[in-house]
Chains A and B, each alone.
Chain A
Amino acid sequence: MKRLIKITALFLLVLSAGSCKKYLDLAPIANQSTASFYKSESDIDQALAGVYNSLLAFPDVNNYNLSECRSNNFYLASVDAQRDYYSINHFQVTSSLAMLETAWANDYKLIGRANQVLDVIDNITFLDSTKRKREKAEARFLRAYSYFELVKAFGAVPLIQHVVTSDEVLNYGRVGVDTVYNFITSELQAAAADLPYKYTATADKGRVTRLSALGMLGRAYMFMAGYPMNKTQYYSNAQSVFQQVLSQEGTSWTFAPAYAALFKAANDNAYHFFEVQYISGGQGFGSPIPGEVVPTDVTTQLMPYGGYYISGEPSPDLITSYEPGDVRELLTLDTLYRNKSNVTIRRSWVRKYLDSSVAATTKSSSDWPVNFPLLRSEDVMLMYAEATNEISGPNTTITGILNRIRTRAGLAGITPPTQDSMRVAIRNERRHEFAWEGIYWYDLVRTNRFLAVMNPWLQANYQKTIDQTQYIYPIPQPEMNIKPGLYYPNPGY
């Protein structure tokens, strides 16, 4: 009988032990959950850093693969590669190309993170309300930048300004290119108002500034003025915001004394208006770009971990286009390299981002500390010149700007007499100044030269030509598949 009682007691004990309702309520141990985050000012600070974090992937995907590889700056012999940049360079892109989905998802990831911050930031108590305004402006700038990247690559895209669920997002179809640009420009204007021209604390350098916002706003106007919108009236909008930026020279920014100084880790945040911040150390915050553009077997002194892609090189077309004496040529590329067995190999490659002084700090081929510029003062200067030339033709100011850049590059000053010759001069300068920065291809599109430039080159090198539809990419197939009909396809794909 005693035993019976004991056993029964045991049974009841086990039964009651678990009947506590809370027993099954477990929250993640190793992570914070969405519900518990976004409570305090420092949470917002960290969430904003999370928005910046999305930028780390931009240079590789947006600037290198989708942009530089699309142009005739990049050449890839036919038999030797089957990577996405091959299809891009050879104009064989289909909507299934994985890089497109990568770009689309990266851009919207940043937008989603920014929306998250912007949706909650007004409900959070900040000690200093100007800091709240500034952080809000930073998030708005980054979101606008991401939409700018999207509209350049895909044309009309869904415009989402708040956090959405997986069901709600299906109510957002593609909106017109002009609507997207209007959003971008109004956001950048608003952001510019609340951002400082520069940060005094060193630890804040690298955050976006009013220079970033105004420069980017001007760039957006340049795109609105160009192909395919062709709203030339925006040249004057561009001109006036660029003027604001240029007037800050000496106060808020300095013009780099030498081209060679622009892509050095030591000069991070010294000259550019907007940079993706990279740091080495093997924590995943380094730049992949230097490793991406050098041959795999380049000597260890330059690249301790080698390059990680095999093909793709500066095209002969780019190499031959430099004027003799242009220091930018050899600072951008080379036609020989020493391999790991110390043999000299005749093959062109990009040395622009290779800062051998920091090679030793890298922990892998994609761990470089050199920041990647997304907006440079030179870009603003040349766009100002371009806008002015489009509005009123050459004048001494823009000739001065042109020659300031040429002189720094070791070239003699020139005086293009006509609007047309000034156009050509600015375009040449831009190609050489910004080669392998992801600027050139969109310059070709914006100025509607892409068919005229690409077709002869494609014919000569790859025995093919393209049509007008190729100025943008197709909407990625996985996105088209989510809800058929939600996004209409781009023509030509």
Chain B
Amino acid sequence: MTFSAFAAGTCDGLPAAGYQKLLIKKQLLRCMRVGIYILLLLGSSIQLLLAKNASGQDMNKTALRLELNNATLIDAFKKIEQVTPFTFAYNKREISPVRNLSLSADNRSLRQTLDLLLQNTSLRYEQMGNNIIVTLPPATSKTADAGRRGAAEDTLINVHGIISNNEGKPVIAASILVKGSAKGSSTDEKGFFEIKGISPNAVLLISSVGFDDMELGVGGRSTIDIRLKDKSEGGKLDEVVVVGYGTARKRDLTGPVSHVGARELGDRPVANIDQALAAQMPGVQVQAVTGTPGTPLQIRVRGASSVSASNDPLYIVDGIPVDNLADIDPGTIESIDVLKDASTAAIYGARGSNGVVLVTTRKGTRGKPRITASVNIGRQTPEQLVKMMSPQEWIQFRKDLVDSAWVARDRTNNKASDAMDMRAAKLTSSTAPVTNTHTGASTAYMYDPYWAYGADSLDYVDWQKVFYRPAYQQRYNLGVSGGNDNTLYALSGEFMNQDGMVPNSGYKRYSFRSNIELKLGDATKVGIGVAPSISTQTGTPADGKDGVGAAVAGTAPIQEKGVGAHSGTIGTTPYRWVADQVSPVFLAENILNRTQTTKLLSNAYIETRLAKGLNIRATGGWNALSSEYKNYTPTSVSSSRRTAAPGSLSTATRNTSRNQYYLFQTVATYTVNFRQHQINAVAGYSVEQNSASNTSQRNTGFPNDNLYTFDQQTSTPAISSNSESMRRQMSYFGRANYSYEGKYLLTGSFRRDGISRFSGANKWGFFPAASAAWRISQEPFMAGISHIISDLKLRYSWGIVGNDRIAGGDYPYAGVVAGASYDFNNNPYTGFAISTIANPDLRWEKTTTNNLGLDASLFNNRVTLSLDVYDKRTNDILLAAPIAAASGFVTQNKNIGEVRNYGFEINVGTVNISRKDFTWSTSANFSFNKNEVLRLTNNNTPIYKGFGNTVQIGVGQPLYSYYLYDAIGVYTTPDMLSKLPKMTSTIIGDPIYRDVNPDGKIDVNDITNVGHPDPNYIWGMTNRFTYKHFDLSILLQGQWGNQIFSLFGRNIDRPTTGLGNYNAKDVWVNRFRSVSSPGDGKTPRIDASTSGVYDTRWLYDGAFYKIKNLLLGYTLPQPKFVKGLNSLRLYFSVDNLWMHDNYSGGFSPEAFQYDNLADWSSYPTARTFSFGITLGL
């Protein structure tokens, strides 16, 4: 008989369960009372009943070999605790009289063992999860009957006790709630609690952060000492991880899933969730490709397998897919799980090939309302800047340019040593006098006389320093959660304001989340999760090719006296020796650039039990996003600002976009246990639709710069467009898990996906997976070494997953006719032409993974170890591939071939020191990944990508390989020039390229494979220390084995357009000047003839290791100074504290925009010092 059956039976005649909370509560209270009463009657069936309702290990199936010789019961329990996952809760006084126990060394189940131990006592035990509660039943309960129901309530008792963890230390601020009532208490700093006036038959609900929840019958006792089980240590294997459409205990997993729980998430005060993932999981690379506040990080699971637009994993928040993890309050996250291989991700079918990131938000738990409030204040400074020439160095550089121009002007008569007065005299003509003065000199051929006086006469500007300023950030969180038997709730709100280091930039976010679950009767529950957010991202884009970042580094470091950082603006005198370029500081201050995004992530579900073990859940998800982008670029930053009328050259842009995503999904789960067999099955169906629309408007030519809004009367429309697109998906999926004695585990799953992105039969894909695991440690022959190897599991998995995310929007297969208008005799004439070439054969990208894994816990869980080896083959990879332009088109969306990623991952956790006052634990992960192109459909012809075709996709090489000339030095002597291979146009001072095909000349055939952007090795390591109330954690992170091609580096590190008008990298101090002044042998002459040539001078080592985060915290136990305060935590944290790298092509080897295959300059990442307080009420 199940609880639901009899509860429903006894409640017959009561009003049907309504939506009114009070009514339900009242009704349940009555049911409860009746239920308890019947429980008592049922006597011995209680144990069975509770055991069935609890989700712990089966005592019948937990085997152990316990040998006792005259031992006490307490000793026996301790021994059992060591070899099983169970812990005992008991009152020492009650069980200490039980002594002189002896048992033979036979193999018994835990239940048999306990029955033997307790056979001569009146003690009884109950299983609650993995807790076994041992109690001495009160005498009254033995004679309880229906007539005495009132009597039990009449004799109310007071209960007190101590709650401790499994090391015997008191648990502070644990919540104790009397089940079915509002009564409750919490523990003090000694773990002591007291509750007055409760029924002797009451059931206590005990919960505390970091411990498993526990339910315990009072059983008439007045003293109850309780030991809670620590979630983070012994409980690791019982940690529940989220898998597709369900959850699983870690011990039951058959595939590789990485889990980050509340503890790891709590370690760092992060602004966005993805930051908390950095360096936490093996095989998961998290990169801050930009420091732009509010921009999501880049996540790669087990390398890049795709060349299409997206290598991003699929993100799922509470079961609903989302585009990215932006605008989600990290404070609301309970856990993050990453499904890394095909067997785990296959249930997400067509979207699983880049891994799946499952985010689970906090839900309410039963108990008193728990309020948490936190504040975090931080200060950001740039982590690293680029080394440019100093003003003095730049002056020397500029002098050299002036001299060479002077000599070039008249090679026979002019010399570099000619005095300025003499040059002025030679240059003067009747129409244009030239004098040797600051205002009268020729900037092309003469020095500025002020150069001699340096900063006395001119302003020296360190642009990066004045542009990237220290910025502050603040975050406030308030959350409350709690619940009772029929309502669980978690509500939270957040405000965050992060100023950017770029002037006038920042990210501001208001976000809320509410998760509510209601029980409608005992078989059905409904829930709703709603998370609205409003975020505003402000600031001139500093990232990438068109960002202001490159201008900041490259602006000339010298300006007119008194002008400084506002050079080039109206009213200032232009410094004549440099470009009259508007100051990037002024630009950032005066351009309005703001995106406001309103998002709503929501889901609602109803779940009901249809039969024993069979549940069905229908979910509806609705994600809505609308964003508005505003830009106003005033005339004062345009190139004609000095003469144009205010407003006349201004432009204003307004873009809006709207995205509506719906999901309907029904999932049935079925669980059945018979004897040693456990079967768990999931089957479901879902439909999804995403519709997007956007509009774009731009007006130019304003009457003034007073307003950023516009109409067609006062300014001219330049762009007015809108577009729409839609995609749909339909899926069937299922999974079955089978477990035999918890020892042999099998999982099989499938998904059939149909998506509107492809045409005809190519719409549908089938994605199967299978996996198996063997928990060797459960075998009897392992029992002898269970104190060394407490858990050992071997697992193997196989599966196929897909990827449909190719650039080309929602219709990548279609040939599209787009506007191509013309005008005849100034009469506009609408024209159309095919803009993309169709490919009806376009189909899914499919990845097949084989994964072999081993999980082990050693030395009583002091060491946990996880090892995975995988081989991942992606077929039909999607690419907007170059095609012969003679077809009329330059690219076509195609399936181009096959790529393999293989490697291994290790995750190790150790408890190094575990003393009363001092603990030290370490968790480390290391992964190795290598990728290789196996096959290309076009007869294995290499495909070129990247800026200037600098990246090759070729068989036998990593997916992306840089193909560049290999610069190995500079021709510094005529001898070198005559003897070494060279290009036809090469002259002295040019870079020497390696003659790869040794034919004695340098040409396109010498462009060679010089590296790849994927790191082969990534690692992360966290060390946590606690000393009394202090805790310290240090997160280290690193990678190596990759190269970075930097076009930003190239921009500031080559004789570029307008040389001399701008600043360049400091390497140019050591350039080749002449045979007698050859420089460092690596830096060519200023005017090296290498235009249009890409070489390894701009290829950098991508390796780094860094202290990603350091956090020092202090937790005040039960602060007394404020009434009602349960906990108080103070912490100090530093992000990006220190880094070692050899990267000089940009701000950081992390801030490398990978999908563009080169670093185009970025918003520098921040070193953030922050301080925070968290209060528990």
- Enumerate chain A interface residues (CB-CB to B < 8 A): 3-4, 7-8, 10-11, 14-15, 17-18, 23-35, 37, 43, 46-56, 77-84, 86-87, 90-92, 94-98, 101, 104-105, 108-109, 111-113, 115-116, 157-158, 160, 163-166, 168-170, 172, 202-207, 268-269, 277-279, 282-283, 285, 296-297, 299-301, 304-306, 310-311, 340-342, 344, 346, 363, 369, 463-464, 477-479, 481-484, 486
Contact = CB atoms under 8 A, between A and B. Distances in A.
Contacts of A108: 885-888
Interface stretch (B273-281, B816-824, B1163-1171): B816-824
24 contacts: A3-B608, A7-B610, A30-B723, A31-B817, A33-B811, A46-B830, A48-B831, A50-B820, A53-B833, A78-B408, A82-B1092, A94-B1092, A108-B888, A112-B888, A158-B884, A166-B839, A169-B883, A268-B825, A269-B825, A341-B642, A346-B432, A464-B985, A484-B941, A486-B884
B944 interface: yes
Contact of A79 (B401, B638, B830, B943): B401
Contact of B822 (A27, A277, A310, A482): A277
A49 B889 contact: no
B1057 A82 contact: yes
Contacts of A43: 832
B15 interface: no
B832 A206 contact: no
A483 B939 contact: yes
Contacts of B834: 34, 37, 112-113, 116
A403 B157 CA distance: 125
Given A91-B985, A304-B644, A166 B892 contact: yes
A50 B687 CA distance: 40
B1076 interface: no
B728 A305 contact: no
B1106 interface: no
A37 B432 contact: no
B725 A205 contact: no
A52 B824 CA distance: 10
Given A109-B888, A340-B643, A24 B941 contact: no
Interface stretch (B550-558, B1083-1091, B1112-1120): B1083-1091
B887 A165 contact: yes
Contacts of A30: 722-725
A92 B815 CA distance: 38
Interface in B903-949: 938-939, 941-944, 948-949
Contacts of B817: 31-34, 37
A158 B833 CA distance: 22
B727 A26 contact: yes
A75 B838 CA distance: 44
B756 interface: yes
A56 B648 CA distance: 27
Interface string B589-619: 0000000000000000010101000001010
B1059 interface: yes
A94 B701 CA distance: 42
Contacts of A484: 941
Contacts, number: 324
What are the 10 A-B residue pairs with the smallest beta carbon separation, nearest first?
Answer: A112-B888, A49-B831, A50-B833, A34-B815, A30-B723, A205-B825, A53-B820, A50-B820, A206-B824, A169-B887
A53 B1022 CA distance: 60
A477 B833 contact: no
Nearest to A270: B825
Nearest to A104: B885
A337 B401 CA distance: 23
A32 B121 CA distance: 85
Contacts of A49: 820-822, 829-832
Contact of A23 (B608, B668, B687, B1091): B687
B829 to A, nearest CB: 5
A136 to B, nearest CB: 16
A90 B883 contact: no
B642 A340 contact: yes
B1004 to A, nearest CB: 6
A483 B938 contact: yes
Given A17-B687, A108-B888, A283-B821, 4 more contacts: A29-B725, A164-B887, A363-B701, A479-B884
Given A81-B1057, A482-B884, A23 B728 contact: yes
Interface in B935-972: 938-939, 941-944, 948-949
Interface string B631-644: 00000001110111
Contacts of A111: 886, 888
B700 A363 contact: yes
A479 B580 contact: no
Contacts of A279: 823, 826, 828
Contacts of A342: 643
B123 interface: no
A5 to B, nearest CB: 10
Contacts of B833: 47, 50-51, 53-54, 113, 116
Nearest to A97: B1092
Interface string B682-695: 00010100000000
Contacts of B451: none
B1003 interface: yes
Contacts of A23: 687, 728, 730
B822 A52 contact: yes
Contacts of A297: 580, 639
A79 B829 contact: no
Contact of B618 (A14, A24, A115, A478): A14
A30 B1060 CA distance: 47
B876 interface: no
Contacts of B826: 268, 277, 279, 369
A18 B828 CA distance: 45
Nearest to B620: A14
Interface centre among B580, B755, B890 (most CB of A within 10 A): B890
A17 B664 CA distance: 10
Contacts of B608: 3-4, 7
Contacts of B754: 24
A111 B888 CA distance: 7
Given A50-B832, A202-B825, A26 B810 contact: yes
B856 to A, nearest CB: 42
Nearest to A36: B817
A184 B1023 CA distance: 75
Contact of A304 (B401, B640, B722, B1058): B640
Nearest to B700: A363
A332 B117 CA distance: 110
Interface string B1092-1118: 110000000000000000000000000
Interface string B1039-1066: 0000000000000001111111000000
Given A29-B725, A86-B1091, A363-B718, A105 B685 contact: no
B217 interface: no
Contacts of A305: 638-640, 649
Nearest to A476: B885
Nearest to B831: A49
A90 B983 CA distance: 14
Contacts of A14: 618, 664-666, 685, 687
A305 to B, nearest CB: 6
A483 B941 contact: yes
A205 B824 contact: yes
B1031 to A, nearest CB: 48
A117 to B, nearest CB: 9
B1176 interface: no
- Residue among A31, A48, A80 facing the most chain B CB atoms (10 A cut-off): A31
A380 to B, nearest CB: 21
A208 to B, nearest CB: 11
B704 interface: no
Contact of A7 (B616, B830, B835): B616
Nearest to B833: A50
B810 A478 contact: no
B1067 interface: no
